[in-house]
Amino acid sequence: MKGASAEREPLILQWNVLANDKYAHLNNLDKAAENLKLFKADLLDPDSLAAAIKGCNGVFHVASPVPSGSVPNPEVELVEPAVKGTLNVLKACSEANIKRVVFVSSVAAAALDPNWPKGQVKDETCWSDSEYCNATNNWYCFSKTMAEKEAWSYAKQSGLDMVTVLLTLVIGPMLQKTTNSSSLVLIKLLKGTKKL
């Protein structure tokens, strides 16, 4: 997936993009006037999600906090929005009879398992070890792992048609003027101020 393409594709497919005022620049994209509807939605507010999802056939769930530095309160800043927010999106999708949900997760949900056999290909059976993530303060990995596990549990229990994509890093032209957290990670890696 190339940077911002998740936001461009809904224009072509005439799906709704969940957004707030900071995404107003999307109105300048080609055919936005006819095909783009912006909604102010909060992952922790089920009513706002239901309003934004209403009338859609499919949903790309791409929202989750990405820290750009230290996380003083990981439960509030990362875990709750990732886990509860994802469940709120999925429940709203079930209630709206959405045909398919594409949950854009992260390789972080599968990358941190120190016990995974070296050289063995990682597949859908591999998860980041939550105890290891906690012990090493890898809160983003922890939040993505917990969110995806809860998402799969909910999808199986409810019958919701869901697929996941675990991205490593989204790169490409940015649509906004400000640097987002994901791009900041890449910038820090390139400058040598962050190590993997």
Cβ-contact 113, 132 below 8 angstroms: yes
Return the SS3 of 59.
Answer: strand
Residue 8 phi, psi dihedral angles, 5° rounding:
-80, -40
Q: Which one from 2, 22, 91, 144 is the annotated catalytic residue?
A: 144
Tokens, residue 117: 């056999």
Return the SS3 of 24.
Answer: helix
Ramachandran bin of 75, using left for φ above 0, alpha for ψ from -120 to 50, beta for the remaining angles: alpha
Chain center to CA of 19? 13
Angle between the N-to-C axes of helices 46-53 and 80-95, in degrees from 0 to 180, rounded to the nearest 10 = 50
Is 118 designated active site? no
Residue 96 DSSP code? T
d(CA 88, CA 100): 15
Q: What positions carry a catalytic annotation?
A: 144
